Amino acid sequence: MAIKIDFNDSTTGLSVTDAYGRIEKIELFPQKRLSLLVVSFYNSEGDKGKLPIKEQAYKIYGANYDQYLDATELAKAGKSGIERAYVFLKTLPEFDGGVDV
């Protein structure tokens, strides 16, 4: 599971059309209503075995954690935590228009 997006890094000026973003790590801290995601970005799906063009950490916490990763919500949605994490990422501006791949 991954997401295809038009990647733009304002820090470096790097821009990649149809970049491949993949959650490489997810840590859950249910007692704190917090999850940490590490997303690696690649030029394309074919590059996923190579070094990423960027890695970025994201937090899901508070009400967003409750909505996307709380055990009760996962059971209601019938989805895994990783699937719901991708749904959350698509709510962020940098993932606008992202497509599941």
Q: pLDDT digits over 6-51, tens only?
A: 999 988 899 999 999 999 999 999 999 999 999 999 999 999 889 9
Tokens of 100: 């599941």
Residues 6+ apart with CB under 8 A from 12: 54
**The model's pTM:** 0.91
pLDDT value at position 77?
Answer: 85
Say how far apart CA 75 and CA 39 lie, in whole Å. 24
Q: Does residue 55 contact residue 24 with C-beta atoms inside 8 Å?
A: yes
Q: Are 26 and 81 contacting, i.e. CB atoms less than 8 angstroms apart?
A: yes
What residue ranges do the domains of the chain occupy? 3-93
The pLDDT of residue 48: 83
Question: With 90 as the cut, is the pLDDT of residue 76 above it?
Answer: no
